[in-house]
Amino acid sequence: MDMAYNMWSSDHSMGKEDFWLRLDYPERIAVFIGNLNYQVENGGFMQWHDNGYSTCGEDIIRILTTVGGCDEVIRLVRHALGEIRKYEEENAYIESDFDELAYNILEEKLSKLDIAFYEVNTVMLTHVETYLEDLTIKSFLQGEIS
């Protein structure tokens, strides 16, 4: 993940989505899962959403499904994405104090997911790390990396 972010920081004109598109598969896994973990650990699912990382939520679900052993995190991410979508659909055209109230309600709903995430994130990280190690070994054996 650090190597990927070093690449991004060297090109100040590159936006987040452009950066994501330049990542290879293992880098994308490390970055998406690393961001999920960092953002939720640091400020909850609300921070993950506010900082624009929930846009890759479906990618995270696909990655964790492939990795295996992460069913509870997948459930939490799906739940968070569902609440976010519902909030966005219901408040797409509202710019008032009601929007702030709706935002606070979303924050309250997402914060309930945070505690459950804290209980399972280390298991997720272990599974992802093992998966990435296996990918590296397989790539090495196939001569893709030296």
* Choice between 74 and 97, residue whose per-residue pLDDT is larger: 74
At 80-105, the pLDDT tens digits run: 999 999 998 887 666 655 578 888 99
Residue 143 lies in a domain: no
Q: Assess whether pLDDT exceeds 90 at residue 13.
A: no
Is residue 58 included in any domain, yes or no? yes
In a domain, 66, yes or no: yes
Domain span at 57 = 2-133
User: What is the DSSP secondary structure assignment for residue 21, as one 8-state letter?
Assistant: H
Residues 69-83 as b/e (b if ≥16 CB within 10 A, e otherwise) read: ebebbbebbebbbeb
Residue at token pair 């890759």: 56
Report the percentage of the chain scoring pLDDT > 90.
62
CB count within 10 Å of CB 129 equals 13
138 falls within a domain: no
Residue 110 within a domain:
yes
DSSP letter at 132?
H
- Whether 37 is in a domain gets the answer yes
> Who's near 86: CB < 8 A, 6+ residues apart?
none
Helix, strand or coil, per DSSP, at residue 79: helix
- pTM as predicted: 0.83
